[in-house]
Amino acid sequence: MVTTRVLKVPKAPAFHIPSLDGVRAASFLVVFVAHAGLPDLIPGGFGVTVFFFLSGYLITTLMRLEWEALGTVSLKQFYLRRALRILPPFYLTLALATGAAALGVLPGGFSFSAVLAQALHAANFWIILHGYPGQPGGTGVYWSLAVEEHFYLVFPLVFIALRRWVHTHGGRATILYVMCAAILAWRMVLVHGLDASLDRTYVASDTRIDSILYGCALAVYGNPMIDGPSRFSEASWKWAILPVAVGVLLFSFLYRGPAFRETTRYSLQGLALTPVFVTAIRYPRWLVYRPLNTRAASFLGVLSYSLYLVHHVILFIVQARLAIHPVGQAAVALALSVGLAWTIYRFVEKPCAALRKRLSRASQVRATGRVVAS
């Protein structure tokens, strides 16, 4: 009689990083307040930069974990997981916004070609060529999703190449930082040599993807989630490294030189965000980070993707239809945004997340050759 040994696939450890849901929430609120009427006081663009850094850090950390567990990264599973995470909420909100514009609920109308560019993840290059007109009101922010989609398309191949051909974490991070420096140099050529427009440097993938790469570099070297103790003491982080990083960020907000803002600003912010993320993850109990770990911050952080998709559209509608004080308009728009984002999360994002988990587990079974016991 032949017996078959049934092996269980070990459960992956829960992947939850302290403070990062709160970082998502804070970034969204920065963007929301800027769009609600305070762009001169609140650096809304910085909220997008933080989202970029966070995306690079999380995606690369997940790929590192997969590589170290299985010795490879499945491109098929990567793209499938990203598609399930991003596309259903995106296409739903784009369809709702386009329908609202067609019905006249959302002011400004739309053009078919602009919406098609958004649907094909070319919204940022559409803006460079044609400006924001033609996109349904409030969907202009989707340019940042196009940048992320272009990153997702290419970076897994870069990551695999780095793992195969560069044999140290430090060497891989160095290459990513060199890529960031090359992008900074390209921005300088565009601004100082080719007199490029603000939109050209602000929304194009080739000029903004370094904001994502800084997060990738942190994930591959000195990753506070998986790389063990820091070389620096907690006191060094608290009283020296983090204060310097915060000072650099404040300088990047306060110095208003146009050329600086479209070239070096993004690079300084990417470098300065590295200590912020390290300390937020390593030391979530610090007083400055405690608000990021509250239930309210976690709730907003979980909803942050759908909130980002819907908030500006709702602001457009509320500001056009509700004749009350701007603070009241912002409060109403925020409440409506949270309600709609929760609905999308509950009925679209969560089912897609469950499907992603099932696919990931099935992929692990195939990769390890193990059979899951019933």
Q: What percent of the chain has pLDDT over 90?
A: 86
Total-model pTM: 0.92
Q: What pLDDT, on the 0 to 100 scale, is given for residue 363?
A: 56
- Mean pLDDT (the chain, rounded): 91
Which residues have CB under 8 Å from 333's CB, separation 6+?
36, 311, 314, 315, 318, 319
Tell the residue number behind the tokens 């759908």, with chain if given: 306
For 132-163, what is each residue's pLDDT tens digit? 999 999 999 999 999 999 999 999 999 999 99
Q: What is the DSSP letter of 136?
A: P
Residue 369 scores a pLDDT above 90: no
Three-state SS for 374?
Answer: coil
Both tokens assigned to 241: 């490294």
Determine whether 352 is exposed, middle or buried from the number of CB atoms within 10 Å of its CB (0-12, 13-18, 19+). Answer: middle
For 214-273, what is each residue's pLDDT tens digit? 999 999 999 999 998 999 999 999 999 999 999 999 999 999 899 999 999 999 999 999
Q: What pLDDT, on the 0 to 100 scale, is given for residue 8?
A: 40
What count of other Cβ atoms lies within 10 Å of the Cβ of residue 200? 21
The distance from CA 208 to its chain's CA centroid, rounded to whole angstroms, is 12
For 44-82, what is each residue's pLDDT tens digit? 999 999 999 999 999 999 999 999 999 999 999 999 999
For 310-359, what is each residue's pLDDT tens digit? 999 999 999 999 999 999 999 999 999 999 999 999 999 999 999 888 87
Residue 119 scores a pLDDT above 80: yes
Return the domain boundaries, the chain. Answer: 20-368
Q: What percent of the chain has pLDDT over 70?
A: 92
Q: What pLDDT, on the 0 to 100 scale, is given for residue 364?
A: 56
Higher pLDDT: 283 or 7? It is 283
DSSP line for 161-198: HHHHH--SHHHHHHHHHHHHHHHHHHHHIIIIIS---H
